[in-house]
């Protein structure tokens, strides 16, 4: 939250973090008194469906890890409900290499470490391959 406050120029006192441990009544108070929220998609879905989250007051919604929003994931439900409630006509997507977020992105190094399978997993893998091969072979005959 502090990093967001520094970048955006919004005081931390205007921000709130809502986790599964934040009671519904406490979240209602936060929705009414804070400007910036850090929360899970599940909390957003729950508070939108209960009417606790004032959807008409949302000006900007940033969804981190949105690439995981597949199928019936809570992200999808939350985003779709906000889009519908606010009659949103345009959505913008930014990736790590988008010019507008470059000043706020940090360089990171990714190191790939391949861990060999243990003996037991190798046996399971070999059994699976043999079984699958026999099954596919019977279909091809």
* Phi (first) and psi of residue 127, to 5 degrees: -60, -45
Kindly report, residue by residue over 6-51, the tens digit of the pLDDT: 878 889 999 999 888 889 899 999 999 999 998 887 888 889 888 8
pLDDT value, residue 56: 83
Residue with tokens 């470059």: 102
pLDDT value, residue 122: 93
DSSP 3-state assignment of 54?
coil
**What residues does 37 pair with on adjacent strands?**
16
* Domains defined along the chain, listed by start: 2-95 (3.40.50.300)
pLDDT value, residue 48: 87
Taking the model in full, what pTM does it have?
0.51
Confidence of residue 63 (pLDDT cuts 50, 70, 90): low
């Amino acid at each position: 939250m502090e990093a967001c406050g520094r970048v955006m120029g919004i005081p931390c006192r205007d921000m709130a973090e809502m986790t599964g441990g934040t009671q519904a009544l406490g979240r209602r108070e936060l929705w009414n008194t804070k400007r910036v929220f850090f929360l899970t998609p599940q909390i957003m879905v729950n508070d939108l469906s209960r009417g606790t989250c004032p959807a008409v007051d949302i000006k900007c919604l940033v969804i981190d890890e949105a690439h995981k929003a597949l199928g019936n994931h809570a992200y999808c439900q939350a985003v779709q409900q906000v889009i519908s409630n606010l009659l949103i006509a345009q959505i913008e997507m930014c990736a790590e290499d988008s010019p507008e977020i470059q000043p706020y992105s940090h360089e990171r190094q990714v190191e790939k470490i391949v861990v060999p399978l243990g003996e037991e997993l190798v046996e399971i893998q070999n059994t699976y391959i043999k079984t699958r091969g026999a099954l596919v072979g019977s279909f091809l005959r």
